């Protein structure tokens, strides 16, 4: 049931200026907020909004996720059950699968997945579904923000026409903006609160309203001139990283041919105080952003008859890295007079980056699959990932102990978790392929280690 304050806010919006009413509700944090999508982006946002005083309702299609949140649990790394239960206890956080609650909300933030389909084209079906539900419950005095990564033009060309079917006018009756998520899972320094928030609205009034909303929870907002600008900001950030990681991976291949340690090269180059930013090679790219986001930009540009050569080349190099690692494993085993077929290979670390439990797009999964296709007997250890159940892979993490290491013909370090015992690995493993330079500071017999 809405409170007396919420009822009066909606009555004032109906009779007067809905924008002014919404502004006051945001400023005094009486605005009711909905977050659509309670994953790694939506749940942290919902929790932080609840902490600053907003009453937040999470909306998700997963009944299991909603039931967990209602029970005070969290399935997102970085969000503790203590935080969820505490906010739930004081009435600042709830969850539902029913979009009907949107009719009672003042602000709705959409944080749904935007994957690529099999042809590497954007799949915006989750966005379309969410905003179709919102459109049917849209009322004067609402702010709607899309945070899901997407191609430039989605908010203006796809979302806005849907909402205008309601008969309400954007920038006057309701406000629409795009603000790209900048979540970095596992980052202890840069969090939602101290990472600047880019905001672009359909109209200047939309930008101002969205910026005002985010100013309640983040230290700094960065208004830009349009939703299209805000959309491409996120794509540029991750395309920049994708291209530079591909470049350093290619340099790693060059250094391998030249018998030069690429890690030493990068460390020396990084001493230059200007004009150079260190990126590091690895077994490939993973996660929800860097392997995917550049393709949103490339797809959009193809529709304008523009071929994004850097993006395509970077993707080609990156996609080749798992196969390169598998070849390295074969070479390492040959040095010990063993063939890849029939050998026992232990893959250490399967999440896409250190100290998290996320295996989406992880190159380690490709490496395991390729090794098995070549006849290797593969096991894995990851302190953060208890099991993998992503067809065709279905396996559980094994213990990282002396017995496991001694019985492995080759150990492949694919993710450099800080919790791993690298001294134990270096002492007990007979053959190691280190794709992350994880053993840099560990005393180890160089004869049994091959670097990327």
Residues 300-345 pLDDT 10s: 888 888 988 998 999 999 999 999 999 999 999 999 999 999 999 9
Catalytic residue among 111, 289, 410, 431: 289
Residues 31/22, Cβ–Cβ less than 8 Å: yes
- Answer whether residue 243 is part of any domain: no
DSSP structure class, residue 286 = -
User: pLDDT tens across 92-124, in order?
Assistant: 999 999 999 999 999 999 999 998 876 677 889
- Answer whether residue 318 is part of any domain: yes
DSSP 197-248: EEEEESSHHHHHHHHHHHHTTSS-EEEES-HHHHHHHHHHHHHHHHHHHHHH
Number of domains in the chain: 2
What tokens does 201 get?
């609205």
431 included as an active-site residue: no
- Answer whether residue 257 is part of any domain: no
User: pLDDT tens across 401-432, in order?
Assistant: 999 999 999 999 999 999 999 999 999 999 99
> Do 208 and 314 reside in the same domain of the chain?
no
Strand partners, 410: 345
Provide the 10 A C-beta neighbour count for residue 187. Answer: 13
Tell me the CA distances in angstroms from 337 to 105, 334, 343, one per residue in order: 67, 5, 11
> Do 331 and 413 reside in the same domain of the chain?
yes
Closest CA to 349 of 410, 408, 402, 420: 420
Closest CA to 97 of 71, 64, 59: 59
- Answer whether residue 254 is part of any domain: no
What tokens does 2 get?
């809405």
- Answer whether residue 245 is part of any domain: no
- Which pTM value belongs to this model? 0.89
- Answer whether residue 248 is part of any domain: no
> Do 132 and 186 reside in the same domain of the chain?
yes
Q: What is the pLDDT of residue 11?
A: 45
> Do 307 and 391 reside in the same domain of the chain?
yes
> Do 90 and 221 reside in the same domain of the chain?
yes
- Answer whether residue 334 is part of any domain: yes
Q: Give the chain's radius of gyration (CA, Å).
A: 25
* Confidence class for position 7, pLDDT limits 50, 70, 90: very low
Which residues constitute the domain of residue 37?
Answer: 4-225
- Answer whether residue 123 is part of any domain: yes
CATH number of the domain at 33, please.
3.40.50.720
* Confidence class for position 286, pLDDT limits 50, 70, 90: confident
């Amino acid at each position: 049931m809405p409170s007396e304050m919420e009822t009066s806010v909606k009555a004032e919006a109906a009779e007067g200026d809905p924008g002014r009413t919404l502004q006051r509700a945001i400023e005094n944090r009486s605005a009711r907020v909905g977050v659509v999508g309670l994953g790694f982006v939506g749940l942290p946002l919902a929790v932080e909004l609840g902490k600053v005083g907003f009453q937040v309702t999470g909306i998700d299609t997963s009944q299991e996720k909603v039931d967990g949140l209602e029970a005070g649990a969290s399935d997102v790394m970085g969000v503790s059950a203590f935080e969820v239960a505490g906010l739930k206890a004081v009435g600042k956080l709830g969850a539902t699968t029913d979009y009907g609650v949107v009719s009672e909300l003042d602000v709705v933030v959409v944080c749904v997945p935007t994957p690529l389909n099999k042809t590497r084209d954007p799949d915006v079906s989750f966005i379309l579904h969410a905003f179709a539900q919102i459109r049917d419950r849209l009322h004067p005095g609402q702010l709607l923000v899309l945070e899901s990564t997407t191609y430039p033009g989605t908010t203006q060309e796809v979302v806005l026409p849907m909402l205008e079917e309601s008969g309400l006018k954007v920038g006057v009756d309701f406000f629409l903006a795009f603000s790209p998520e900048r979540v970095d899972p596992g980052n202890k320094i840069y969090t939602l609160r101290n990472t600047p928030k880019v905001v672009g609205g359909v109209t200047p009034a939309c930008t101002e309203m969205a910026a005002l909303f985010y100013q309640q929870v983040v230290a700094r907002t960065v208004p830009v001139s349009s939703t299209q600008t805000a959309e491409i900001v996120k794509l540029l950030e991750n395309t920049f990283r994708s291209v530079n990681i591909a470049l350093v991976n290619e340099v790693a291949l060059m250094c391998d041919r030249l018998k030069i340690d690429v890690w030493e090269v990068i460390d020396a180059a990084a001493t230059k105080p200007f004009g150079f930013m260190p990126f590091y090679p690895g077994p490939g790219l993973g996660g929800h952003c860097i392997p995917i986001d550049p393709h949103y930009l490339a797809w959009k540009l193809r529709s304008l008859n523009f071929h994004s050569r850097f993006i395509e080349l970077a993707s080609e190099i990156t996609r080749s890295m798992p196969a390169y690692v598998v070849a390295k494993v074969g070479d390492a085993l040959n040095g010990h007079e063993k063939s890849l077929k029939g050998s026992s290979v232990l893959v250490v670390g399967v999440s896409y980056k250190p100290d998290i439990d996320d295996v989406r797009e992880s190159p380690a999964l490709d490496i395991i699959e390729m090794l098995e296709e070549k006849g290797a007997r593969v096991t894995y250890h990851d302190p953060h990932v208890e099991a993998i159940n992503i067809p065709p892979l279905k396996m559980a993490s094994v213990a990282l102990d002396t017995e496991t290491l001694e019985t492995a013909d080759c150990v492949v370090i694919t993710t450099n978790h800080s919790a791993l015992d690298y001294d134990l690995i270096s002492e007990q493993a007979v053959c190691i392929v280190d794709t992350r330079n994880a053993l840099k500071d560990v005393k180890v017999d160089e004869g049994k280690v091959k670097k990327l």
